[in-house]
């Protein structure tokens, strides 16, 4: 999704904006631009393409020289990716960058056209620049913004500069992330903290429709009516190193390697005296005992973490769990309300559909719990209760460490749930917790054998289609392994519940087609093996991801990847997913794709 940066201070603004945009590249984008106040006025440089194209254009057109400006990476929604549709957009005396969608932009455009305005781009953003210009009079930018906000419907984060004020950057937001960075006599805006982390760890969160005015000599905050207000300064826990590659060729590989540490840290933060503990966030045993049903609402990889959670919670606590894709949940008129616990899972904490699902659940009287990686995000702030996954900044678009952190939390939640409902005793809860806390060592063992994953990837690299199959937890993992592989290798892949294969899909099995069979669960192993053999009989290439020592019939498997883990079957997904992530990573790299920035995908999807 789009990335916004803004700066005012003494540094070279172009440099600060470009470096900030680099840090936001992970969000996904297809064009970029900056606008900087030079001595003679605002200079805007923008282009379709990546930041490398932008740097090239800056070399040709000359980098703007100044100390105040705004920048943007755009992920096209209204209007194709093109130089003209790239941000910043100027109309009249106003130049802006925007993230989000203005839902009533067509009506606003008609109104402004009647007033004599013309437009050069197809974007909803230019309409906002124009509306700001329409309301700008008597050199009063604040009034222009408050009047404009009254008219806007939809979601937005806006960085705004007014031609008459070369020493100010204004910003505002609603339902779209925007954070203010506070330096020494310098100020920043960014869609995420890494955009300015190099310069300051101090940040301020804006509430919906707060307005900020950053000047060289200070910063002012206003509410939607233009009334001055005070905001609290927080200190980011992330450090610069966490947001850098640190010698790894890609963020994705670095993030996969971070998993043993992250899983350990996240689990420890949720335990006290060797057992899961959530009373500190308001989630008491009484509450868990009284829950009638659990809904897990999320998107993408976070939703797949929810499926693991479903198996764990239902098996241990015997409470019904439904996992819903957030974009469906919000419009399906779900039967949810008092007595239900709705768990929303999100790395970014900004995903529009997940956030809407959370709001709906709250409206209908359910208790809400967020499992989120970004502490200052909207979802973390809105939910009744909040568990912070300690994965640190996840930069690669394909989520890895956030997923393992999410399932780590979910396991602990399942143990506590089961204990609170009298399904397991304290001793069993302690045993399960101790096992979970030992999972990082098993994850490390998978990472240490990454060459085997690389070898498997070399067998997939020329495939046009492939399948993942598994049962129970292995099915949940298959869904995630398949998503990971297809999103970064562009090979078509489908995940199937192994038992469902013969209900149609087996007709697609042709000689040589790779079928990655996840077979780690003892209670369904025999069944999975027979599904595997059905594939083999039709010439499929079987790659079995199984527990160490699993015995298969002769010639029934082409390649085997063994997971060496002394863990209860339920917990084996923790190391196993790491193997699937590595297979996806190496397949992507061997196909010459940058796994950190797969085409068309965005890291944080802040629009529907």
Closest separation between CB of residue 459 and ligand G6P, Å? 25
Is position 536 an interface residue for ligand G6P (rule: CB under 6 A)? no
Lay out the sheet containing 94-102: strands in order across.
89-91, 94-102, 154-162, 168-174, 211-215, 218-222, 228-229
Closest separation between CB of residue 337 and ligand G6P, Å? 24
The CA distances from residue 127 to 39, 104, 106, in Å, are: 27, 10, 9
The CA distances from residue 335 to 284, 294, 329, 379, 595, in Å, are: 24, 12, 10, 21, 39
- Among 91, 125, 346, 435, the residue binding ligand G6P under the rule CB under 6 A is 346
Q: Dihedral (C-alpha) 248, 250, 251, 256: value to the nearest 10 degrees?
A: -70
Is position 601 an interface residue for ligand G6P (rule: CB under 6 A)? yes
Give the residue with the Cβ less far from ligand G6P, 90 or 354. Answer: 354
Kind of pairing between the strands at 465-470 and 41-48? unpaired
Please tell me the distance from the alpha carbon of residue 288 to that of residue 335, in angstroms, as a whole number. Answer: 20
Is position 123 an interface residue for ligand G6P (rule: CB under 6 A)? no
Kind of pairing between the strands at 218-222 and 465-470? unpaired
One symbol per residue from 548 to 587: x for binding ligand G6P (CB under 6 A), - otherwise; what is it? ----------------------------------------
Is position 347 an interface residue for ligand G6P (rule: CB under 6 A)? yes
Closest separation between CB of residue 346 and ligand G6P, Å? 3
Closest separation between CB of residue 342 and ligand G6P, Å? 15
Closest separation between CB of residue 373 and ligand G6P, Å? 8
Closest separation between CB of residue 347 and ligand G6P, Å? 3
Give me the DSSP letters along 391-418. Answer: -----SSS-SHHHHHHHHHHHHHHHHHH
Give the residue with the Cβ less far from ligand G6P, 357 or 540. Answer: 357
- Among 170, 491, 603, 606, the residue binding ligand G6P under the rule CB under 6 A is 603
What is the three-class DSSP state of 572? coil
Give the residue with the Cβ less far from ligand G6P, 345 or 456. Answer: 345
Which residues does 45 contact at the CB level (< 8 Å), separation at least 6? 33, 34, 54, 57, 58, 61, 63, 64
One symbol per residue from 247 to 286: x for binding ligand G6P (CB under 6 A), - otherwise; what is it? ----------------------------------------
Which of these segments, 76-84, 181-189, 343-351, 546-554, binds ligand G6P (CB under 6 A)? Answer: 343-351
Please tell me the distance from the alpha carbon of residue 246 to that of residue 572, in angstroms, as a whole number. Answer: 29
Give the residue with the Cβ less far from ligand G6P, 47 or 389. Answer: 389
Closest separation between CB of residue 357 and ligand G6P, Å? 10
Lay out the sheet containing 293-298: strands in order across.
321-325, 293-298, 340-346, 367-372, 385-388
Compute CA 336 distance to the chain's CA centroid, rounded to the nearest angstrom: 26
Structure tokens at 41: 């006025």
Give the residue with the Cβ less far from ligand G6P, 44 or 493. Answer: 493
Give the residue with the Cβ less far from ligand G6P, 85 or 346. Answer: 346
Question: What ranges in 246-400 are assigned the alpha helix state H?
Answer: 251-257, 259-269, 285-290, 300-317, 326-329, 352-363, 378-382
Please tell me the distance from the alpha carbon of residue 175 to that of residue 87, in angstroms, as a whole number. Answer: 20
Our CA angle for 570, 441, 553, nearest 5°, is 55
Is position 604 an interface residue for ligand G6P (rule: CB under 6 A)? yes
Give the residue with the Cβ less far from ligand G6P, 47 or 327. Answer: 327
* 35 torsion bin: left (phi>0), alpha (psi -120 to 50), beta (else): beta
Q: Is 271 a catalytic residue?
A: no
Please tell me the distance from the alpha carbon of residue 602 to that of residue 216, in angstroms, as a whole number. Answer: 34
- Among 327, 354, 368, 607, the residue binding ligand G6P under the rule CB under 6 A is 354
- Looking at 2, 130, 271, 453, which residue is catalytic? 2
- Among 18, 102, 360, 605, the residue binding ligand G6P under the rule CB under 6 A is 605
Orientation of helix 573-590 relative to helix 426-448, angle to 10°: 20
Give the residue with the Cβ less far from ligand G6P, 150 or 599. Answer: 599
Task: Determine the residue with CB nearest ligand G6P.
Answer: 300
- Looking at 174, 484, 597, 603, which residue is catalytic? 603
Which of these segments, 193-201, 287-295, 451-459, 597-605, binds ligand G6P (CB under 6 A)? Answer: 597-605
Closest separation between CB of residue 604 and ligand G6P, Å? 5
Binding-site residue total for ligand G6P (CB under 6 A)?
A: 16
Task: Give me the residue label for tokens 């970064």.
Answer: 488
* 259 torsion bin: left (phi>0), alpha (psi -120 to 50), beta (else): alpha
Which of these segments, 193-201, 251-259, 348-356, 588-596, binds ligand G6P (CB under 6 A)? Answer: 348-356
Please tell me the distance from the alpha carbon of residue 201 to that of residue 197, in angstroms, as a whole number. Answer: 6
Could you say which residues in the range 463-492 bind ligand G6P, by CB under 6 A? Answer: none
Closest separation between CB of residue 208 and ligand G6P, Å? 19
Please tell me the distance from the alpha carbon of residue 79 to that of residue 123, in angstroms, as a whole number. Answer: 6
Could you say which residues in the range 383-442 bind ligand G6P, by CB under 6 A? Answer: 397-399
Q: Is 603 a catalytic residue?
A: yes
Work out whether the CA dihedral 86, 88, 93, 94 comes out positive or negative.
positive
Give the residue with the Cβ less far from ligand G6P, 374 or 529. Answer: 374
Closest separation between CB of residue 298 and ligand G6P, Å? 6
| Residue 232 φ/ψ, nearest 5 degrees | -90, 140
Which of these segments, 6-14, 145-153, 186-194, 342-350, binds ligand G6P (CB under 6 A)? Answer: 342-350
Closest separation between CB of residue 397 and ligand G6P, Å? 5
Determine the longest span between alpha carbons in the chain, in angstroms: 84
Q: Dihedral (C-alpha) 152, 155, 159, 161: value to the nearest 10 degrees?
A: -10
Could you say which residues in the range 283-302 bind ligand G6P, by CB under 6 A? Answer: 299-302
Give the residue with the Cβ less far from ligand G6P, 121 or 346. Answer: 346
- Per CB under 6 A, residues contacting ligand G6P are 299-302, 346-348, 351, 354, 397-399, 601, 603-605
**Catalytic positions:** 2, 603
């Amino acid at each position: 999704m789009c990335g916004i940066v803004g700066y005012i201070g003494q540094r070279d603004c172009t440099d600060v904006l470009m470096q900030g945009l680099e840090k936001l590249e992970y969000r996904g984008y297809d064009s970029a631009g900056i606008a900087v106040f030079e001595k003679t006025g605002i200079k805007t440089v923008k282009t379709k393409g990546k930041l490398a194209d932008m740097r090239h254009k800056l070399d040709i057109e000359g980098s703007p020289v100044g100390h105040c400006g705004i920048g943007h990476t755009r992920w096209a929604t209204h209007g194709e990716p093109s130089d003209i549709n790239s941000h910043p957009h100027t109309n009249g005396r106003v130049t802006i960058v925007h993230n989000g969608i203005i839902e009533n932009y067509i009506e606003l455009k008609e109104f402004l056209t009647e007033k004599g305005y013309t437009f050069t781009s197809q974007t909803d953003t230019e309409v906002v620049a124009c509306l700001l210009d329409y309301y700008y009079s008597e050199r009063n930018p604040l009034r222009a913004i408050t009047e404009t906000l009254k008219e806007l419907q939809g979601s937005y984060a806006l960085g705004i500069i007014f031609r008459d004020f070369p020493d100010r950057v204004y910003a505002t937001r609603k339902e779209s992330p925007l954070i203010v960075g506070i330096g020494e006599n310098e100020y920043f805006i960014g869609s995420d903290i890494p955009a300015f982390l190099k310069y300051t760890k101090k940040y301020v969160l804006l509430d919906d429709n707060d307005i900020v005015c950053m000047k060289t000599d200070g910063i002012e905050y206003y509410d939607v009516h233009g009334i001055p207000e005070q905001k609290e300064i927080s200190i980011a826990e992330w450090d610069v190193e966490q947001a850098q590659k640190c010698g790894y060729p890609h963020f994705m590989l670095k993030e996969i390697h971070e998993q043993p540490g992250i899983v350990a840290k996240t689990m420890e933060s949720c335990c006290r005296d060797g057992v899961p503990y959530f009373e500190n966030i308001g989630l008491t045993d009484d509450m868990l005992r009284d829950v009638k049903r659990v809904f897990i609402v999320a998107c993408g990889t976070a939703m797949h973490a929810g499926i693991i959670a479903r198996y764990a919670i239902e098996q241990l606590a015997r409470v019904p769990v439904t996992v819903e894709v957030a974009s469906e949940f919000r419009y399906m008129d779900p039967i949810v309300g008092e007595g239900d616990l709705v768990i929303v899972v999100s790395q970014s904490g900004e995903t529009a559909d997940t956030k809407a699902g959370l709001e709906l659940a709250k409206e209908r009287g359910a208790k809400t719990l967020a499992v989120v990686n970004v502490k200052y995000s909207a979802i973390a702030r809105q939910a009744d209760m909040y568990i912070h996954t300690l994965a640190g900044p996840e930069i690669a678009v394909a989520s890895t460490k956030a997923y393992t952190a999410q399932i780590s939390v979910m396991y602990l939640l399942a143990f506590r749930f089961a204990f609170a409902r009298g399904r397991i005793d304290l001793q069993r809860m302690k045993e399960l917790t101790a096992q979970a806390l030992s999972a990082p060592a098993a994850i490390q063992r998978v990472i240490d054998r990454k060459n085997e994953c690389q070898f498997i990837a070399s067998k997939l690299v020329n495939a046009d289609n492939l399948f993942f199959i598994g049962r129970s937890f292995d099915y949940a993992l298959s869904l995630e392994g398949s998503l990971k592989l297809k999103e970064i290798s562009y090979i078509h892949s489908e995940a199937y519940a192994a038992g469902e294969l013969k209900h149609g899909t087996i007709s697609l099995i042709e000689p040589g087609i790779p079928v990655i069979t996840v077979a780690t669960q003892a209670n369904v192993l025999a069944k999975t093996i027979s599904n595997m053999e059905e594939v083999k009989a039709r010439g499929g290439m079987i790659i079995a991801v199984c527990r160490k020592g699993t015995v298969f019939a002769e010639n029934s498997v082409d390649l085997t990847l063994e997971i060496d883990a002394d863990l209860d079957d339920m917990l084996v997904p923790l190391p196993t997913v790491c193997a699937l992530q590595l297979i996806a990573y190496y397949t992507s790299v061997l196909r010459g794709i940058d796994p950190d920035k797969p085409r068309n995908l965005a890291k944080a999807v802040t629009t529907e």
